[in-house]
Structure 1
Amino acid sequence: MLDLDRLWRVLPFGLLAVATLIAVADSSLPPPDRVVNVALSATVAAWHWWMVLAHPQWPERALAPMAVYFVVLLVLAWLLAARHPAYALLVVACFPAAFVALPGWYAYLGVAATAVLITGGPLAFTSSQVLPALVGAALAGLFGWIIRAMESEVERRRAANRALESANHRLTQLGAENAELQGRLLTAARQTGVAGERGRLAREIHDTVAQSLSGIVTQLEAAEEAADDAETVRRRLAVARSLARESLVEVRRSLDDLRPGPLARSRLPEALSPLVAGWGETHGLPAIFTVTGAARLLHPEVEVTVFRAVQEALANVARHAEAGKVGVTLSYMEDVVVADIRDDGVGFDPAEVDGFGLTAMRQRVGRLAGNVEVESAPGQGTAISVSVPAIPAAAGWEAS
């Protein structure tokens, strides 16, 4: 549309040049008249260039200078048309010039003024020519209205496209900001999780391994003091050996908590399936494991969190539920992975019961900005839903 607008602005130059060539080539005119026609034509060209082309911010925007421009253009066209009929082309050029220069409905006043110049001006149209001239003016107004409507629609679409591009750009920025914030959140969650795991390991070492080592030292010291009593020495060493084995078991259990063995060798569904089946065989209960959605490899922190949550939930069922059957469903969704553990046991009131197992589960899941929901009532079984962000395995942060 920009090229068409440019065409309308330079159209008067073309029509003026054609009219001038015709007038100059007219041998019936004396040379002085030809010189005057050329001078007036140059004045029209300079006037149009200065008011329209040299100041592109004026046309269709600034009424005062454009009104002056159009009045002067009509006067010059009137003078030239009075000097030679060829300059009727310049008068015709005033029709599009009205729409090029004058803003809004003032353009139609310019068309009307041009029509008056044609019908009553120096062109000396006969009465039979007036009607065609008026029809031409009407067609010029209609054509100008159509062009303006097209320009308005194009500008509206451009504005809509600009708004859409701006919105897309903003959405891209928001996506980048969201990704950065998620990375920060995951980093903070990881740091919190590491601190929590260190605290947990410190408590377990203090409560188990440290106490066992202290007991071993005591037994060995007692055996040394009773070196002459072989039976006492054997008994003390047997106790020390038992404590050492218990400590080894505790150490292995604590290390296994960092990354469960099944997950080190397979994906989450393949690790949970034998866990659920083995739990059912151990407790003599039907336990059904189901996977919904497209299973995919997730970040190790996510898989460990879900695995431990299911493990803890099954342990709670075994200890408290008195259930007849258990169902575990692992659901892969677009943004989250959800594990649902349901039983038909005795149930409880979640508002009154919040044991250590549920608290630990919430803490572990909360480190990844996840959520734990418990639905239960006395005599109606229990449903635990664990939801964790489905962070892909290739996420830009590492577990320690």
Structure 2
Amino acid sequence: MLRIHDWDRVWRALPLGFLGVATLIAEADPSVPSHDRAVTIALAAAVAVWHWWMVLAHPDWPERALAPMACYFAGLLALAWVLSSRHPAYGLLVFACFPMAFAALPGRYAYLGVATTALVAVGGPSALLDAESSWQSVPMLTGAVLAAFIGWSIRAMEAEVERRHAANRALESANLRLARLGEENAELQGRLLAAARQTGVAGERGRLAREFHDTVAQGLVAIVTQIEATEEAVNDADAVRRRLAVVRSLARESLAEVRRSLDDLRPGPLAETRLPEALSALVSGWSATHELPAMLTVTGTARLLHPEVEVTVYRAVQEALANVARHAEAGKTGVTLSYMEDVVVADIRDDGVGFDSSGAGGGGFGLTAMRQRVVRLAGNVEVESAPGQGTAVSVTVPAIPAEAEREAT
């Protein structure tokens, strides 16, 4: 199947084919004198050289360069007219000028070339004015109109094919760009996955560190405290048994919390109860363990919150009470849980020795872990204290409802 470029070569070589056929016919005609034959052959050779140089040797000129192609077509038509006047067979060369008008002349100038060729073919404008000759010119003029229509059709098809080729090239280019983007996206996704994996590892390490601090570390501190108290009351059998029972209970609770932390579950007290009840048990248990008076007060309407919110508040109160037991030397401690419209606030206050909070920096690991937990939920931790004036820790966390967990899943 011939392509457009193949058809272009066929059309551009057409005059040479017609010229060859006409020359063979003229040379075979015995009525032509020998000296006329030589002149005719010379003119035919001139046409062949002219066409080769202007069209075949410069393939970028046809249909693009108007000036050289107008000169070429005028020269071809003039030589064709001269040859046809010497022998009728060269009328084939004149006829070949019809398709060459579209093969050589750009744009609308091709139709001017067809009209000019038609005038030359009928013998000029005078032949059209002559009544007898005008009837003989009708077939040639009809052929000119048909040639113009065929040329227009071919150009329209070429334009459509070229448009489709351009669309295909654009589509191929778009596909290549999409392929490159796909490769880049795959590479970027790999990087993001690697970064997310590293972030997840770091986050999990931090979570485990906070969980172990809130469970094992605090449990061990409480156990050590009870053991030290047992040593001081070694002569009191009842006190020793009571202390050992507390140690046994603390050890079991710590072990259970470790298991829950490793399974990434909620703290044991929150697994089957609400936050106020869990904090009440925490405060009363802490008070009994350390033999220090402590009270929990709940304000506002208690409601079920997102597990992360309840865990964060519970761990913050747990850490604050652990700090009171270790450092405050307090006589009494109060915990207030306040349910507000948009936030839930836990305040832990003691009347202990206090400290200079302006120079406290970030605090120990416990306070740092507390801040990390709260900040993860866009919350805030405030610590107010002064030497001899006790300490107040305020933890504020957004009151995200429990329904948000179900919607997220």
Normalised by the length of structure 2, the TM-score is 0.61
> Which is worse superposed, 68-77 or 150-159?
150-159
User: SS at the partner of 2:59?
Assistant: coil
Give, as a single letter, the amino acid of the residue that structure 2 aligns with 1:136. G
The CA RMSD measured in Å over matched residues stands at 4.0
Name the residue aligned to 1:45: 48
> Which is worse superposed, 155-164 or 179-188?
179-188
- The answer on 1:152 being equivalent to 2:159 is yes
**Paired residues of 2:306 and 2:400 also in contact (CA < 8 A):** no
Distance 1:282 1:41, change over 3 A: farther
Q: How far apart, in 2, do the equivalents of 1:315 and 1:387 lie? A: 13
1:235 Cα deviation from its structure 2 partner? 4.6
1:384 Cα deviation from its structure 2 partner? 5.5
- The answer on 1:15 being equivalent to 2:18 is yes
Q: How far apart, in 1, do the equivalents of 2:193 and 2:407 lie? A: 18
Distance 1:353 1:132, change over 3 A: farther
- The answer on 1:108 being equivalent to 2:115 is no
Of residues 201, 215, 222, the one that matches 1:215 is: 222
CA offset digits 1:269-317 (Å, max 9, x no partner): xxxxxxxxxx9x999xxxxxxxxxxxxxxxxxxxxxxxxxxx9847989
**Paired residues of 2:62 and 2:105 also in contact (CA < 8 A):** yes
Distance 1:17 1:375, change over 3 A: farther
In structure 1, runs of 5+ residues without a counterpart are 261-278, 284-310, 318-346, 364-373, 389-400
Matched ranges for 1:61-210 at <5 A: 61-120=64-123, 126-210=133-217
Q: How far apart, in 1, do the equivalents of 2:100 and 2:23 lie? A: 18
> Which is worse superposed, 137-146 or 189-198?
189-198
Q: How far apart, in 2, do the equivalents of 1:349 and 1:218 lie? A: 40
- The answer on 1:252 being equivalent to 2:259 is yes
Name the residue aligned to 1:3: 6
Q: How far apart, in 2, do the equivalents of 1:387 and 1:112 lie? A: 78
CA offset digits 1:165-193 (Å, max 9, x no partner): 33333333334434443443343333333
> Which is worse superposed, 222-231 or 151-160?
222-231
Q: How far apart, in 1, do the equivalents of 2:223 and 2:236 lie? A: 19
Distance 1:66 1:178, change over 3 A: same
**Paired residues of 1:375 and 1:384 also in contact (CA < 8 A):** no
1:228 Cα deviation from its structure 2 partner? 7.1
1:97 Cα deviation from its structure 2 partner? 0.5
Distance 1:171 1:349, change over 3 A: farther
User: SS at the partner of 1:44?
Assistant: helix
**Paired residues of 2:26 and 2:87 also in contact (CA < 8 A):** yes
Q: How far apart, in 2, do the equivalents of 1:233 and 1:354 lie? A: 39
User: SS at the partner of 1:57?
Assistant: coil
User: SS at the partner of 1:177?
Assistant: helix
Give, as a single letter, the amino acid of the residue that structure 1 aligns with 2:147. A
Distance 1:212 1:349, change over 3 A: closer
Name the residue aligned to 1:369: none
1:107 Cα deviation from its structure 2 partner? 0.6
Distance 1:353 1:115, change over 3 A: farther
**Rg bigger for which structure?**
2
Give, as a single letter, the amino acid of the residue that structure 1 aligns with 2:137. V
Matched ranges for 1:271-310 at <5 A: none
Give, as a single letter, the amino acid of the residue that structure 2 aligns with 1:117. V
Distance 1:386 1:360, change over 3 A: farther
Name the residue aligned to 2:58: 55
Distance 1:172 1:101, change over 3 A: same
**Paired residues of 2:84 and 2:90 also in contact (CA < 8 A):** yes
Distance 1:105 1:313, change over 3 A: same
Give, as a single letter, the amino acid of the residue that structure 1 aligns with 2:142. V
Name the residue aligned to 2:36: 33
Q: How far apart, in 1, do the equivalents of 2:166 and 2:87 lie? A: 46
Q: How far apart, in 1, do the equivalents of 2:18 and 2:345 lie? A: 92
Distance 1:349 1:20, change over 3 A: farther
User: SS at the partner of 1:58?
Assistant: coil
Give, as a single letter, the amino acid of the residue that structure 1 aligns with 2:5. L
Matched residues, percent identical?
Answer: 65
> Which is worse superposed, 13-22 or 199-208?
199-208
User: SS at the partner of 1:69?
Assistant: helix
1:66 Cα deviation from its structure 2 partner? 0.5
Q: How far apart, in 1, do the equivalents of 2:174 and 2:92 lie? A: 49
Matched ranges for 1:329-340 at <5 A: none
Q: How far apart, in 2, do the equivalents of 1:358 and 1:239 lie? A: 31
Name the residue aligned to 2:396: none
Normalised by the length of structure 1, the TM-score is 0.62
Q: How far apart, in 2, do the equivalents of 1:197 and 1:375 lie? A: 23
**Paired residues of 2:22 and 2:89 also in contact (CA < 8 A):** yes
**Paired residues of 1:348 and 1:382 also in contact (CA < 8 A):** no
1:197 Cα deviation from its structure 2 partner? 2.4
Distance 1:180 1:32, change over 3 A: same
**Paired residues of 2:19 and 2:93 also in contact (CA < 8 A):** yes
Distance 1:239 1:282, change over 3 A: closer
